[in-house]
Amino acid sequence: LAIRAYHQSRGDHERNVCLIPASAHGTNPASATMAGMTVIVVATDDDGNIDIDDLATKAVEHADRLAALMVTYPSTHGVFEESIVEACDIIHNNGGQVYLDGANLNAMVGIARPGKFGGDVSHLNLHKTFAIPHGGGGPGVGPIGVRAHLAPFLPGHGLVPDQDGFRDGIGAVASAPWGSAGVLSISWAYMALLGASGLTESTRVAILNANYVAKRLSEHYPLLFTGNGGLVAHECIVDVRPIKDTTGVTVDDFAKRLVDYGFHAPTMSFPVAGTLMIEPTESESLEELDRFCDAMIAIKAEVDLVADGTYPVDDSPLHNAPHPAENLLVEEWTHPYTREVAAYPVPGLRANKYWPPVSRVDNQYGDRNVMCSCPPMEDYAE
């Protein structure tokens, strides 16, 4: 909205095209569309980077209408794109602005400045980088930073002035002047306690943790999208599609079996269907990272037992996962693997075991068959 207002203030009312890479999260085109822009998709190459030739072609093609490029950096594929400066220059040379999605700022705080490589606008996901909770999809807070030329077009509030009085920008975008202000104190405390050096160290550790996990798992699984030297940014993508093709074990089976090992599954099937995207952040200890890697390696060994015919794919520890205690206490155990394999696949679980409350839920069925749970008013009558 601020970018559109900026263009309109210069008489460029026709600038309403937003270029967005094919790898982007769905919220990017949704945001651009809500701001009244037309989304044009830019291709990505085999390494997950923006296809610079395609970007340049489309920027020139839509030069008279180009409003912005919305780009995530590091990319949604978890790599530092070396062409980011060139991409920003292409947009600026064709009259557009660059909106940097700050979803992956966990790999940038203290070591890179969006403004230096070409960003004009950037939002900060406080739930991903600055410690606020985000359970159930909210309450999210996304402070926005802009270059000076866009500052006059930031949203204001009709009842609460800022330090310069009432802003003549794009108007209010939320009923409360500072969004979910109650959680901002968490981010303030996080930054105040860490300080500049601590925030920078957090970034370095987040990148180190992701590369440690990637290195350990690369000996057992193919990894998608790495940069120079085979390194990643703050996250790595494990490709389990070849496993499905050869054994029938699915990414859902991995996610459910991880519950038996005491882990909530990492991001599944995004940004690539049939993969697991692992983003350890700076918060996890080396011991916890090793525990997770050991679980993934053990699950790969279980996959191998499906591959060699020891377990049928439809009656394996993976297919039947997770295993709640209730299922293990039945009198007759009919599966080809033992109860111990089901409940304690690695020895450490005996000392500290998370027991799933239910067995497998059919996620897809639930998503596709929504049932209203609102009883009619007569049910409330005594």
pLDDT of residue 361: 86
pLDDT band of residue 58 (cuts 50, 70, 90) is very high
**Which stretch of DSSP H or E encloses residue 275?**
strand 275-278
Grade residue 182 by pLDDT with cuts at 50, 70 and 90: confident
The arithmetic mean of pLDDT across residues 195-200, rounded, is 97
Strand order in the sheet with 236-239: 223-224, 236-239, 275-278, 267-268
Is 162's pLDDT higher than 80?
no
Asked whether residue 163 carries a pLDDT value surpassing 80, the answer given is no
In the predicted model, what is the mean pLDDT of residues 320-324? 97
- Is the predicted pLDDT of residue 304 greater than 70, yes or no? yes
Domains of the chain: 2-124+142-179 (3.40.640.10), 204-368 (3.90.1150.10)
Q: What is the mean pLDDT of residues 74-79?
A: 90
H or E stretch covering 88: helix 84-93
Return the structure tokens found at 198: 């601590």
Question: Among candidates 239, 310, 233, 320, which has minimal Cα distance to 279?
Answer: 233
Least confident of 26-35, 54-63, 186-195, 331-340: 26-35
Does the pLDDT at position 200 exceed 90?
A: yes
248 backbone φψ class: left, alpha, beta (φ>0; ψ -120 to 50): left
- How far apart are the C-alpha atoms of 234 and 236, rounded to whole Å? 7
Proportion of the chain above pLDDT 90, given as a percent: 70
Question: pTM of the predicted model, to two decimals?
Answer: 0.89
Q: What is the mean pLDDT of residues 295-300?
A: 98
Contact 67, 96 (CB under 8 A): yes
Q: How many CB atoms lie within 10 A of CB 337?
A: 17
Per-residue pLDDT, 158: 78
- Predicted pLDDT at 168: 65
Task: Identify the residue whose tokens are 């292409």.
Answer: 90
Give the percent of the chain with pLDDT over 70. 97
Does residue 267 register a pLDDT over 80?
A: yes
Please report the pLDDT score of residue 374 as a whole number. 77
Average the pLDDT over 149-166 and give the result: 81
What is the edge-to-edge ordering of all strands in the sheet holding 121-124?
38-42, 17-21, 66-72, 97-102, 121-124, 144-146
Judged by average pLDDT, the poorest of 115-124, 279-288, 315-324, 369-378 is: 369-378
Which structure tokens are listed for 347?
Answer: 């020895």
Cross-strand bridge partners of residue 72: 101
Given CA atoms 87, 18, 65, 151 in this order, what sign does their dihedral have?
negative
- Work out the burial of residue 135: count CB atoms within 10 Å of its CB; fewer than 13 is exposed, 13-18 middle, 19 or more buried: exposed
**Counting every residue, how long is the chain?**
382
**What mean pLDDT comes out for the span 264-287?**
94
Looking at residue 115, its pLDDT comes to 87
What mean pLDDT, rounded, does the chain reach? 91
